[in-house]
């Protein structure tokens, strides 16, 4: 059976891609050790080099010149709405002097040795790949120039690539890229010294105002391929009944009624793995059918006896009480400056508050889905994966195939937000495909599956206390963070947060306060906790930025001025001085925490919003700012609360300093989306548990924003980062400041203080 591919528009690279690089001496990937030795500072690698697989910039891996004149650029990062297929290709095209209209983007399959790191998360794609892709494009340009020079038998210094052709000015000769395709393929990659990057003033695509999307028309005409969209002859479709409580397993099941459903082909048990279950499937009973509907009906007819689980008692109400109690007492010491206890004892005034935020589900519009085909001992997969190389490795291990016999093609992702970094759903498809050699199997998660079995955002209680002297200066800051850790999916008995969770707005709070202490009391994990777009920054920004607003109100001061006073004078802080050794994986020397940049986004957002202006009755403006993913974002929301509690968000002004701006339109779109997502998690986002079971199941009870709740106007202000600043992240850092800005605006409008998310009916 031959794959039809008739609707697979997201052209994947062919397996013989490596043939193309033969004879050029390219070794392919730069392979770096995945395990950092954090203690040995001089050996530690940062940024893209610090990621497993590192970066690769070989043009023979990423660029192919076709004889028809088109240029194929390979994107090894997953497209999930951030526009990376377009943005990285623009970078290559610019350095390559290629015409965008003649550029095509091909999607890499998962292969870390060939492509370098492919983890599309952590707001890292452009941050880590801008320079490698520039050098890649520039090297490809040098190859074309060399090929033309060789053909004309002139010195390469006499020719220049420009706008999809190479020109020899002396003789007036020129030759198109397509005509050079064959000879360029045989021309070796130039040495590093021979690669000349363009001068930024010559950029045609990088940093330009343009609205481009390589997949734009495909996405809105039904031609784009997502995880469930590939169709094969005689393929089967499966849904899986998974344990209602995490840790429960199948004790027995009866499939007789399910097998009677018209279209149901087979019922198969999938084995789960006891916690810590990492990226393994939850286990359960799969119903395989000739169409998704039959599989769903078949699943409804299953009779399954589930075992008891150690998580049967997981209950959000009692768990919250336990977290808040833990936050009242000292916990694992994370950062300690001065003497907080003494300062609090001597304080003229003190204030404390505890903020709660529940679990939230990613709920990408595309629920998890994947297709697998096991044929002639080779397993081929098509999946919306944020980490195809990890997926490939886990799938290969699980089904017992060598890596070379396993291939993971990446489709478009219908949203990811961190969910699709975890390949549990892909492994399900792989396991089932093994049982049907030669036949493609699609696993489809329903929305209920997605909500019930997500790798949830953590749940958290953040307690803050501050003390002030007689002049109203902050003298002490005590912050306790209690939240089940993501480490729980990787190791047993984890109760404390990881460095990367702490470094998200907790220990790296850059305030100018002489006595500061941060503690992390422990709490056990009862569900699969995973990373959700901007991760622990969400509850931290909510707590810290709400708390500062409360402090300003207590002091009778303007929130913005009060906040800037806490930030203190402009300075660059080495994150290690704040005990943050993680620093989003970036070099602390290149990426200090810069309070001046934070101040600037606050100044910009407040100025653009008209901070301080008189508003009609019932309206209020709220501010929040947050540093995350080495990017600085401030948000000012203007809201109105109607009688009865209806919330209208009139304006959102967000100021962003993400370092150099490579594709401004996509930075804005990410911020717009972050704004809406932040509003959603603040207003209605909650997954709660009772008896170990998630209490929500679909969009009727796990509500996400609809168009009326979006701000009537969103303005994104891109702040000039100044010279010598490194690239920051874009996909995530817009989310954290939104919820506190909203809650602070609600306070300004109504006097109602929100310390518990979601807001839901607290305004009614």
Partner 1 sequence: MHSITLNGQVYELDVPDDMPLLWAIRDVLGFTGTKFGCGISQCGACTMHLEGMPIRSCSTPVSAATGKNVTTIEGIGDDPVGRQVQKAWVDVGVAQCGYCQCGQVMSATALLQRIPKPDDEAIEGFMSGNICRCGTYNRIKTAIHQAASKLEEE
CB 670 within 8 A of CB 80: no
Residue 629 touches partner 1, criterion: CB under 8 A: no
User: Considering beta carbons, is residue 178 or 705 the nearer one to partner 1?
Assistant: 705
Q: Which residue has the tokens 């209680």?
A: 461
User: Considering beta carbons, is residue 520 or 669 the nearer one to partner 1?
Assistant: 669
By DSSP bridging, strand 103-107 and strand 71-75 are parallel
Q: Give the shortest CB-425-to-partner 1 separation in angstroms.
A: 14
Piece of the chain touching partner 1 by CB under 8 A; list 224-232, 310-318, 474-482, 591-599: 224-232
User: Considering beta carbons, is residue 594 or 672 the nearer one to partner 1?
Assistant: 672
Residue 7 touches partner 1, criterion: CB under 8 A: yes
Q: Give the shortest CB-4-to-partner 1 separation in angstroms.
A: 8
Q: Cα(532)–Cα(735) distance, rounded to whole angstroms? A: 10
Piece of the chain touching partner 1 by CB under 8 A; list 30-38, 215-223, 278-286, 333-341: 215-223
Q: Cα(737)–Cα(633) distance, rounded to whole angstroms? A: 7
Residue 260 touches partner 1, criterion: CB under 8 A: no
Q: Provide the greatest CA pair distance for the chain.
A: 84
Q: What is the DSSP letter of 455?
A: -
By DSSP bridging, strand 441-444 and strand 369-375 are antiparallel
Of residues 573, 568, 564, the one with CA closest to residue 604: 564
Residue 377 zone, left/alpha/beta (φ > 0; ψ -120 to 50; rest): left
- Bond prior to 458 in cis (omega within 30° of 0): no
367, 503, 659, 733: which one binds partner 1 (CB under 8 A): 367
Q: Give the shortest CB-594-to-partner 1 separation in angstroms.
A: 28
**Cα atoms in the Cβ-side hemisphere of radius 13 Å centred on 596:** 9
Residue 704 touches partner 1, criterion: CB under 8 A: yes
User: Considering beta carbons, is residue 2 or 569 the nearer one to partner 1?
Assistant: 2
Mind giving me the DSSP string for 628-643? Answer: ETTEEEEEEEEEEE-T
Judged by CB under 8 A, the number of residues near partner 1 is 69
Residue 293 touches partner 1, criterion: CB under 8 A: yes
Residue 217 touches partner 1, criterion: CB under 8 A: yes
| Cα 40 → chain centroid | 29
Q: Give the CA radius of gyration of the chain.
A: 27
Q: Give the shortest CB-235-to-partner 1 separation in angstroms.
A: 9
CB 319 within 8 A of CB 459: yes
Residue 155 touches partner 1, criterion: CB under 8 A: no
Residue 5 touches partner 1, criterion: CB under 8 A: no
Residue 385 touches partner 1, criterion: CB under 8 A: no
205, 226, 355, 582: which one binds partner 1 (CB under 8 A): 226
By DSSP bridging, strand 713-718 and strand 647-657 are parallel
669, 683, 744, 750: which one binds partner 1 (CB under 8 A): 669
Sequence-distant (≥ 6) Cβ neighbours of residue 221 within 8 angstroms = none
How many residues would you count in the chain? 764
Piece of the chain touching partner 1 by CB under 8 A; list 373-381, 563-571, 681-689, 699-707: 699-707
Encoded tokens for 624 = 């929040």
53, 178, 190, 416: which one binds partner 1 (CB under 8 A): 416
104, 204, 223, 350: which one binds partner 1 (CB under 8 A): 223
User: Considering beta carbons, is residue 230 or 483 the nearer one to partner 1?
Assistant: 230
Cα distances (angstroms) measured from residue 253 to each of 286, 314, 448, 740 = 11, 25, 21, 47
User: Considering beta carbons, is residue 118 or 444 the nearer one to partner 1?
Assistant: 444
By DSSP bridging, strand 250-254 and strand 619-628 are unpaired
* Residue 754: Cβ within 10 Å count: 22
95, 121, 215, 428: which one binds partner 1 (CB under 8 A): 215
Residue 81 touches partner 1, criterion: CB under 8 A: yes
Q: Cα(656)–Cα(630) distance, rounded to whole angstroms? A: 11
User: Considering beta carbons, is residue 290 or 695 the nearer one to partner 1?
Assistant: 290
Q: Give the shortest CB-272-to-partner 1 separation in angstroms.
A: 24
466, 677, 730, 757: which one binds partner 1 (CB under 8 A): 677
170, 260, 303, 706: which one binds partner 1 (CB under 8 A): 706
What are the two backbone dihedrals, phi and then psi, of residue 594, each rounded to the nearest 5 degrees?
A: -110, 105
| Cα 175 → chain centroid | 42
Q: What is the DSSP letter of 417?
A: T
Q: What is the DSSP letter of 171?
A: T
Piece of the chain touching partner 1 by CB under 8 A; list 359-367, 390-398, 432-440, 519-527: 359-367
95, 97, 121, 366: which one binds partner 1 (CB under 8 A): 366
User: Considering beta carbons, is residue 485 or 631 the nearer one to partner 1?
Assistant: 631
CB 262 within 8 A of CB 465: no
User: Considering beta carbons, is residue 81 or 575 the nearer one to partner 1?
Assistant: 81
**390: enclosing H helix or E strand:** helix 388-399
446, 520, 537, 696: which one binds partner 1 (CB under 8 A): 446
Binding site for partner 1 (CB under 8 A): 7, 79-83, 211-213, 215-226, 228-231, 237, 262, 290-293, 363-367, 412-417, 444, 446-448, 665, 669-670, 672-677, 680, 698-700, 704-708, 710-714
């Amino acid at each position: 059976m031959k794959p039809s591919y008739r609707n697979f528009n997201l052209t994947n690279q062919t397996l013989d891609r490596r043939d193309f690089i033969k004879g050029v001496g390219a070794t392919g990937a730069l392979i770096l050790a995945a395990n950092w030795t954090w203690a040995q500072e001089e050996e530690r690698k940062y940024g893209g080099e610090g990621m497993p697989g590192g970066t690769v910039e070989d043009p023979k891996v990423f660029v192919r010149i076709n004889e028809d004149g088109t240029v194929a650029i390979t994107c090894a990062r997953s497209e999930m709405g951030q526009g990376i297929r377009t943005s990285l290709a623009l970078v290559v095209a610019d350095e390559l002097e290629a015409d965008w209209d003649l550029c095509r983007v091909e999607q890499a399959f998962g292969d870390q040795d060939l492509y370098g790191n492919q983890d599309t998360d952590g707001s890292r794609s452009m941050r880590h790949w801008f320079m490698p892709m520039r050098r890649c494009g520039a090297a490809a340009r040098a190859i074309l120039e060399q090929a033309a020079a060789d053909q004309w038998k002139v010195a390469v210094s006499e020719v220049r690539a420009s706008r999809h052709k190479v020109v020899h000015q002396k003789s007036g000769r020129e030759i198109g890229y397509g005509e050079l395709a064959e000879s360029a393929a045989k021309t070796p990659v130039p040495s590093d010294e021979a690669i000349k990057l363009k001068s930024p003033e010559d950029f045609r695509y990088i940093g330009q105002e343009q609205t481009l999307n390589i997949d734009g028309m495909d996405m809105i005409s039904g031609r784009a391929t997502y995880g469930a969209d590939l169709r094969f002859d005689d393929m089967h479709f499966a849904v899986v009944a998974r344990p209602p409580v995490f840790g429960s397993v199948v004790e027995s099941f009866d499939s007789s009624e399910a097998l009677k459903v018209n279209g149901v082909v087979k019922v198969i048990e999938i084995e789960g793995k006891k916690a810590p279950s990492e990226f393994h499937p939850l286990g359960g009973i799969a119903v395989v059918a000739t169409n998704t509907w039959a599989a769903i009906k078949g699943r409804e007819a299953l009779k399954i006896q589930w075992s008891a689980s150690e998580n049967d008692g997981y209950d959000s109400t009692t768990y919250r009480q336990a977290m808040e109690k833990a936050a009242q007492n000292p916990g694992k010491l994370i950062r300690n400056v001065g003497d907080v206890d003494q300062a609090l004892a001597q304080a003229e005034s003190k204030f404390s508050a505890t903020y709660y935020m529940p679990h939230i589900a990613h709920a990408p519009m595309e629920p998890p889905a994947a297709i697998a085909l096991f044929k002639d001992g080779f397993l081929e997969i098509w999946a919306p994966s944020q980490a195809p190389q990890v997926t490939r490795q886990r799938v290969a291990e699980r089904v017992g195939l060598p890596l070379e016999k396993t291939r993971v093609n990446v489709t478009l992702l219908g949203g990811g937000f961190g969910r699709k970094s975890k390949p549990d759903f892909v492994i399900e498809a792989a396991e089932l495909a093994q049982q049907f050699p030669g036949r493609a199997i699609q696993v489809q998660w329903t929305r209920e599956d997605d909500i019930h079995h997500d790798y949830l955002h953590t749940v958290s209680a953040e307690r803050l206390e501050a003390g002030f002297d007689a002049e109203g200066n902050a003298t002490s800051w005590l912050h306790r963070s209690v939240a089940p850790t993501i480490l729980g999916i990787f190791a047993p008995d984890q109760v404390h947060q990881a460095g990367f969770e702490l470094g998200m707005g907790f220990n790296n709070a850059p305030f100018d306060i002489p006595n500061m202490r941060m503690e992390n009391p422990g709490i056990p994990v009862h569900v699969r906790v995973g990373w959700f777009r901007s991760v622990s920054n969400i509850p931290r920004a909510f707590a810290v930025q709400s708390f500062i607003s409360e402090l300003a109100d207590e002091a009778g001061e303007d929130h913005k001025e009060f906040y800037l006073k806490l930030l203190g004078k402009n300075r660059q802080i080495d994150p290690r001085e704040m005990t943050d050794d993680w620093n989003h994986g970036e070099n602390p020397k290149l990426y200090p925490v810069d309070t001046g940049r934070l101040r600037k986004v606050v100044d910009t957002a407040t100025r653009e919003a008209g901070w301080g202006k008189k508003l009609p009755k019932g309206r209020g403006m709220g501010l929040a700012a947050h540093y995350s993913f080495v990017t600085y974002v401030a948000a000012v929301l203007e809201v109105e609360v109607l009688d009865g509690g209806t919330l209208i968000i009139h304006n959102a002004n967000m100021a962003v300093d993400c370092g150099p701006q490579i594709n401004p339109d996509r930075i804005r779109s990410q911020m717009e989306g972050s704004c809406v997502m932040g509003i959603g998690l603040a207003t209605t986002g909650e997954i709660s548990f009772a008896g170990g079971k998630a209490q929500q199941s679909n969009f009727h009870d796990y509500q996400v924003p609809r168009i009326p709740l979006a701000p009537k106007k969103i303005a994104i202000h891109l702040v000039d980062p100044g010279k010598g600043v490194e690239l920051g992240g874009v996909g995530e850092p817009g989310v954290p400041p939104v919820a506190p800005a909203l809650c602070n605006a609600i306070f300004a409008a109504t006097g109602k203080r929100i310390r518990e998310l979601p807001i839901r009916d607290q305004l009614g």
